Amino acid sequence: MAREFTRVGVVGLGTMGAGIVEVFARNGVDVTAVEISDAALERGRVTLTGSTDRAVAKGKLAEADRDALMSRVDFRVGLGALHDVDLVIEAVPEHLDLKQRIFAELDRVCKPDAILATNTSSLSVTEISVATTRPNQVIGIHFFNPAPVMKLVEVVRTVVTSAEVVADVEALCERLGKVDVTISDRAGFIANALLFGYLNHAVGMFEARYATREDIDAAMKLGCGLPMGPLALMDLIGLDTAYEILDTMYRRGGRDRRHAPAPLLKQMVTAGLLGRKSGRGFYTYERPGSPKVVADEHTPVAAEAAVADGARAVAKVGVVGSGTMATGIIEVFAKAGYEVVSVTRGAEKSAKVCEAVKTSLNKGVVRGKLAETDRDAAMGRITWSATLEHLADVDLVVEAVVEELSVKKALFASLDEICKPGVVLATTTSSLPVIDVAMATQRPADVVGLHFFNPAPIMPLVEVVRTIRTSAETSATARAICAAVGKTGVVCGDRSGFIVNALLFPYLNDAVKMLEASYSTADDIDYAMKLGCGYPMGPFELLDVVGLDVSLAIQRELYLELREPGFAPAPLLEHLVTAGYLGRKSGRGFRDHTNR
Q: Which residues of 292-317 are buried (b: 16+ CB within 10 A; e: fewer)?
A: ebeeeeeeeeeeeebbeeebbebebb
Element (H, E) at 45: helix 38-57
Active site positions, annotated:
121, 142, 154, 192
- Give me the amino acid identity at 478: A
SS (H, E, C) 316-341: EEEEECCCHHHHHHHHHHHHCCCEEE
**Which is nearest to 220 in space by CA: 205, 207, 208, 209?**
205
C-alpha–C-alpha distance, residues 108 and 483, integer Å = 65
How many Cα atoms are found within 13 Å in the side-chain-facing hemisphere of 30?
Answer: 8
Element (H, E) at 126: helix 125-129
Neighbours of 38 (CB within 10 A): 10
CB 328 within 8 A of CB 454: yes
Q: At what angle do helices 213-224 and 500-516 cross, to 10 degrees?
A: 60
C-alpha–C-alpha distance, residues 412 and 421, integer Å = 14
Q: Hey, CA dihedral for 427, 429, 434, 437, is it positive or negative?
A: negative
- Phi first, then psi: what are they for 278, rounded to 5°? -100, -5
Burial class (CB in 10 A: 0-12, 13-18, 19+), 341: buried
CB 503 within 8 A of CB 205: yes
C-alpha–C-alpha distance, residues 274 and 464, integer Å = 31
**Which is nearest to 275 in space by CA: 307, 233, 245, 327?**
233
C-alpha–C-alpha distance, residues 9 and 404, integer Å = 61
Q: Which residues is 318 bridged to in the sheet?
A: 341, 397
Neighbours of 445 (CB within 10 A): 14
C-alpha–C-alpha distance, residues 483 and 306, integer Å = 11
**Which is nearest to 31 in space by CA: 99, 67, 85, 90?**
85
Burial class (CB in 10 A: 0-12, 13-18, 19+), 32: buried
**Which is nearest to 509 in space by CA: 574, 584, 589, 580?**
574
> What is the β-pairing status of strands 461-466 and 447-452?
antiparallel
C-alpha–C-alpha distance, residues 7 and 150, integer Å = 22
Burial class (CB in 10 A: 0-12, 13-18, 19+), 91: buried
Query: What is the separation, in whole angstroms, between the first and last Cα of the chain?
Result: 36
